[in-house]
Amino acid sequence: MFDAVLPLAAFSQRKVVASVVLRVVTGRSSVVFDSCWGRNMRVFLLGELRVLDGDVELPLPSSRKARALLAFMFATSRPHRRERLCEMFWDLPDDPRAALRWALSKLRQVVDRPDQVRILADRERVEIDTGSVEINLWQVHGELQRRGQTSIETLERMARMLEQTPFDGLDGAGSDLFEAWLQSEREDIEISRVEVIRQLATHPDISEFAAKKWRRLWREANPEGADEYARSVSEEAADVANSQPTAERHSRPREAEALKEQRIGFCEVRDGTKIAYATIGSGAPLLKAANWLTHLEFDWQSPIWGRSFAEIAKGRRFIRYDERGCGLSDWDVDDLGFDAFVEDLETVADRLGLERFPLLGISQGAAVSIEYAVRHPERVSALILLGGYAAGWRHTVDQEERARREAVMSLTEVGWGTDNPAYRHIFSQTFMPDAHAETLAWFDELQRQTTSPRNAARFQDAFGNIDVRDRLSQVRAPTLVLHSKYDQRIPLAAGRALAAGIPDARFVPLESRNHVLVGDEPAWKVCAETMAEFLADQGL
């Protein structure tokens, strides 16, 4: 059977409908977990891959590669280049495109109907139309993103679903690229499982007997989170018993309240990459350009970013987004280059209708912010650059240091996702040499959860190529540059060079060795106060 080539434009009307459904299913609008949308196909990605037409289970191809391809397309639900699919599943010396065509012909026998073509393909790309498909993994993600209290019954059903191994039986069905994607998907799903357990353990309507079970499971999965909750409950009980005021305690976890209040959305860049963004607060906007190692949800729970972001968000509308390849944004992306980073920023600003706003750039986000400010001078009212640089390591280091950097990239790709944090310590010890041991441990785990091993290496490679030195003199926005004096990751000289190159920029050195400032260190207090004063001086 040949691989029919169908023009994707012919399905434009269907794809519009499918995109609306996708927004509902994935939680970008309200989702009801128990709803039945009148669909005639159901797909199970938790556990072994299963496809049902009504109540009839459909036979799947015997080829594991074909089944893995089907699961991948259902899970991602977006177009993929044929070359990319060949790399992921048929890294063969002879004819991988023929193997892909054969697999698609087998999958069409499963999902296509005489009156409904679901596998859409042209000569360059392949995708699956999920507009009339109910996918259990999407239901779980959608329910977790829905605002409001979820019922105990629904949470328990989700917990049972999430106990199963996602994409079970598909290990080894593709190349290292597929394995990396599979691992990252499972890690994300494990995060969802822990969140469901947390909600059950703390649900106001659950019985004490059931709560004990879920607290035990929560402690097994996330000891720090469970113990912190137990401590807060004990403190509250003690305050009530002693009639002590609780205002201070309730105001302390601003980060936890912020996590409940922030609103997460998604926008799509021209190349099809979906970028996750979050807004919190009200008032004048402040947009933070993405930098590596962020996660819109986990950051608020972080001893690193949580307190810092809560401080920045006071009295204004604070906007963040996750880098492509990182956090809640798409991980499986072809382009992790500088121009793509800038376009992501442009897309988020356009999506939110920001006409004129101050821009915060941290680490490599500083270079992205500079490029954006030069391209769009009418929109950037002020620049704040923290721990930034204008030129990546490939432009500034000698051959010996270049060899070390390239060796670290190789180590990253093989060791990033392992349980042994030794590989990730390469970063945590230079990002935050003065942080507490528990903060470093949290940062190690954050690294693993925010991106895949392959992407972690690709990010390092991309950052090495950054060079906006010729753009510094073209910046017209008032600029504040802050940099740790003893930064172990990006030397102070890089921050000075930024300030020297940008007309009338103000430079403030900070008493710290940390590249990533921690919310409880004195240098962060100076940093936060200086940023607030700078924005106030600009009338922002």
Regarding whether 140 and 107 lie in a shared domain, the answer is yes
The span from the CA of 459 to the CA of 264, in Å, is 24
pLDDT at 239 (0 to 100): 53
Q: Are strands 80-81 and 125-128 parallel, antiparallel or unpaired?
A: antiparallel
Does residue 207 lie in a domain region? no
Regarding whether 387 and 272 lie in a shared domain, the answer is yes
17 pLDDT band, cuts 50/70/90, is very low
- Which run of H or of E encompasses 276? strand 274-280
407 pLDDT band, cuts 50/70/90, is confident
Q: Which of 125-134, 278-287, 380-389 has the highest mean pLDDT?
A: 380-389
Contact 376/369 with Cβ under 8 angstroms?
Answer: no
Regarding whether 365 and 242 lie in a shared domain, the answer is no
| Domain termination site, one of 205, 234, 252 | 252
Nearest to 112 by CA among 40, 160, 179, 168: 40
Regarding whether 294 and 359 lie in a shared domain, the answer is yes
**Is pLDDT of 173 > 70?**
yes
The span from the CA of 512 to the CA of 521, in Å, is 8
Contact 537/381 with Cβ under 8 angstroms?
Answer: no
Q: What is the arithmetic mean of pLDDT over 159-179?
A: 92
**Is pLDDT of 245 > 90?**
no
Q: What is the arithmetic mean of pLDDT over 173-180?
A: 90
User: Side chain identity at 510, as an amino acid letter?
Assistant: L
pLDDT at 117 (0 to 100): 93
443 pLDDT band, cuts 50/70/90, is confident
Regarding whether 133 and 17 lie in a shared domain, the answer is yes
* pLDDT over 90 percentage in the chain: 48
User: What is the residue range of 286's domain?
Assistant: 256-392+467-537
Regarding whether 354 and 318 lie in a shared domain, the answer is yes
**Per-residue pLDDT tens digits for 46-69:** 999 999 988 899 999 999 999 999
Instruction: Tell me phi and psi for residue 156, to 5 degrees.
Output: -65, -40
Q: Indicate the average pLDDT of the chain.
A: 83
pLDDT at 242 (0 to 100): 52
**Is pLDDT of 413 > 90?**
no
pLDDT at 243 (0 to 100): 44
E strands, 292-436, are 317-321, 357-362, 380-386
Q: What is the arithmetic mean of pLDDT over 439-467?
A: 84
Q: Which of 19-23, 287-291, 344-348, 489-493 has the lowest mean pLDDT?
A: 19-23
The span from the CA of 36 to the CA of 71, in Å, is 22
Q: What is the arithmetic mean of pLDDT over 84-105?
A: 88
Does residue 442 lie in a domain region? no
Let me know if 406 is exposed, middle or buried by CB neighbors in 10 A (0-12, 13-18, 19+): middle
Q: What is the arithmetic mean of pLDDT over 406-422?
A: 73
Does residue 438 lie in a domain region? no
**Per-residue pLDDT tens digits for 302-322:** 767 777 888 888 888 999 999
Regarding whether 226 and 337 lie in a shared domain, the answer is no
Q: What is the arithmetic mean of pLDDT over 364-390?
A: 96
**Is pLDDT of 291 > 80?**
yes
Regarding whether 500 and 364 lie in a shared domain, the answer is yes
Q: What is the arithmetic mean of pLDDT over 15-27?
A: 35
| Domain termination site, one of 155, 179, 194 | 194
| Per-position DSSP letters for 492-529, written without gaps between them | HHHHHHHHHHSTT-EEEEES-S-SS--TTSHHHHHHHH
> 514: domain CATH number?
3.40.50.1820
pLDDT at 396 (0 to 100): 87
**Is pLDDT of 28 > 90?**
no
269 pLDDT band, cuts 50/70/90, is very high
Number of domains in the chain: 3
Regarding whether 299 and 341 lie in a shared domain, the answer is yes
**Choice between 241 and 231, residue whose per-residue pLDDT is larger:** 231
The span from the CA of 177 to the CA of 200, in Å, is 35
**Choice between 94 and 487, residue whose per-residue pLDDT is larger:** 487
| Domain termination site, one of 153, 178, 194 | 194
pLDDT at 233 (0 to 100): 66
Regarding whether 368 and 297 lie in a shared domain, the answer is yes
**Choice between 530 and 411, residue whose per-residue pLDDT is larger:** 530
Does residue 435 lie in a domain region? no
**Is pLDDT of 150 > 50?**
yes
236 pLDDT band, cuts 50/70/90, is low
pLDDT at 40 (0 to 100): 74
Q: Which of 39-43, 424-428, 446-450 has the lowest mean pLDDT?
A: 424-428
Does residue 376 lie in a domain region? yes
pTM of the predicted model as reported, rounded to 2 decimal places: 0.55
Q: What is the arithmetic mean of pLDDT over 186-206?
A: 89
> 32: domain CATH number?
1.10.10.10
pLDDT at 446 (0 to 100): 75
The span from the CA of 3 to the CA of 72, in Å, is 19
- 3-class state of residue 377 by DSSP: coil
CA distances from 412 to 13, 79, 276, 461, 503 (A): 44, 29, 25, 11, 38
Regarding whether 276 and 154 lie in a shared domain, the answer is no
Does residue 425 lie in a domain region? no
Regarding whether 275 and 151 lie in a shared domain, the answer is no
Does residue 495 lie in a domain region? yes
Does residue 428 lie in a domain region? no
**Choice between 135 and 410, residue whose per-residue pLDDT is larger:** 135
pLDDT at 475 (0 to 100): 97
**Is pLDDT of 423 > 80?**
no
**Is pLDDT of 23 > 60?**
no
**Per-residue pLDDT tens digits for 351-371:** 999 999 999 999 999 999 999
* Residue indicated by tokens 């509902």: 24
